[in-house]
Amino acid sequence: MQILTILAIVAGCVIIAGCTDKNLQSPVQTPDLTVTPLPITPLPTTPQTSEPTHTPSLFDQPVSEPPVDLYVSVSVQKDPIYSTITATFDGGKGQDLIQSIQVRTTLSTGNVSTRELGKKKGDVITIPGTKGVDRIQVGITYMNGLSYL
């Protein structure tokens, strides 16, 4: 029985030694790497466009006062704590002839917005402002088509 055990151990060692022989491994083949350049296609050129045309608005004209019979008043206040801007229509002689009242706000951040103020005496709009210097412009268009800033 001892002989069989010794033979089994020797046979196992021979088998293990035969499995680690490097000459029996097949050679590694490297794939043929051929680089084929792709054709370069230039990007399509876009035609130069002119700058967008600016449609003149009521706020692009010089400041002008309406005639006395069309005079109206809009009060504007800025809250020193919350920076909210309040515009109130105070009315006036020409209040029944108003077509629209536009309030344009240019904030110190550069943001510009235009909102419509009601035509009824006491109408109010509140606009969020900034802690910096904000600019308010009020433009009034009358039913006869004339506008004043």
pTM for the model = 0.61
Give the chain's end-to-end CA distance (angstroms, integer). 119
What is the C-alpha separation between 17 and 2, in angstroms, rounded? 23
Domain range summary for the chain, segments of one domain joined by +: 65-148
Residue type, 45: T
Per the prediction, the chain carries an average pLDDT of 79
Residues of the chain above pLDDT 90, percent: 52
Torsion angle of alpha carbons 75, 76, 80, 82, nearest 10°?
120
Q: What is the pLDDT of residues 21-59, one digit of tens each?
A: 555 555 566 666 565 666 666 666 655 555 555 566 667
Residue 120 has pLDDT above 70, yes or no: yes
102 within 8 A of 21, measured Cβ to Cβ: no
**pLDDT range class, residue 113, cuts 50, 70, 90:** very high
Measure Cα distances from 112 to 30, 38, 131, 147, 149 in Å: 66, 50, 16, 20, 17
Architecture of the domain spanning 65-148: Sandwich (2.60)
